[in-house]
Amino acid sequence: MTLTTQAMPAIAQTLSASVASSLQSNIPAIASSTLADIAQSKAFAARADYLAATAPLVQAWVSSVDLLRGKTRWVDQAYREAYAEAAVEQGIAWQVRINRERRGMSQAELAKRMGTKQSAISRLEDPDYGAHSLAQLQKVARAFDCALIVKLAAYSTLALESHHLSEDDLFAPGYQQELQD
């Protein structure tokens, strides 16, 4: 059976309804459990834990598709592709600036860590530059002690990411800072 994106909201609603029904029908049994039926309540608890853990994942996926549907201008392929390219170019520029500033570094200090000139950092932080190389971005990630992830993604993922552009969302803590938090 192939699932279409149109079918996902209906599936999510059905899952939610069946989960709620299952929980409601099992609550009295669990509430009145005795030592003899602890195994049954543990099984129910395991199912409830599983459902609680997976429900946000289903909801996040459905939400990203819903966000994609809301991007009505993206129906035009040229517009959609231009948006995706601009998101990369501007996103990199904003991330470099935000991560540099949050670390209290000047452009010159970042340039020194990367073995380049301050003018190269200025270009990296220019949202209109757009000529970033993977090698250059790997040097940035090493200088910030964070990971660089480059991957192809669904447009629904881009739609979701377009709602997470705050400075907190774009900041990537360094490895040691992440372990301390």
- Dump pLDDT digits (tens) for 64-84: 888 899 999 999 999 999 999
Chain segment 108-150, per-residue pLDDT in tens: 999 999 999 999 999 999 999 989 999 999 999 999 999 999 9
Asked whether the predicted pLDDT for residue 53 surpasses 80, the reply is no
d(C-alpha 62, C-alpha 9), whole Å: 6
Question: What does the pLDDT average to over 13-36?
Answer: 42
Question: What does the pLDDT average to over 38-66?
Answer: 60
Asked whether the predicted pLDDT for residue 17 surpasses 80, the reply is no
- How far is CA 25 from each of CA 48, 51, 122, rounded to the nearest angstrom? 13, 15, 62
Asked whether the predicted pLDDT for residue 61 surpasses 80, the reply is no
Contacts with 144 (C-beta within 8 Å, 6 or more apart), sequence order: 99, 100, 103, 172, 174
Range with the poorest average pLDDT among 23-27, 81-85, 113-117, 162-166: 23-27
By C-alpha distance, which of 167, 60, 163, 47 is closest to 103? Answer: 167
Question: What does the pLDDT average to over 90-104?
Answer: 97
**Block residue for tokens 């190269």:** 120
Asked whether the predicted pLDDT for residue 11 surpasses 80, the reply is no
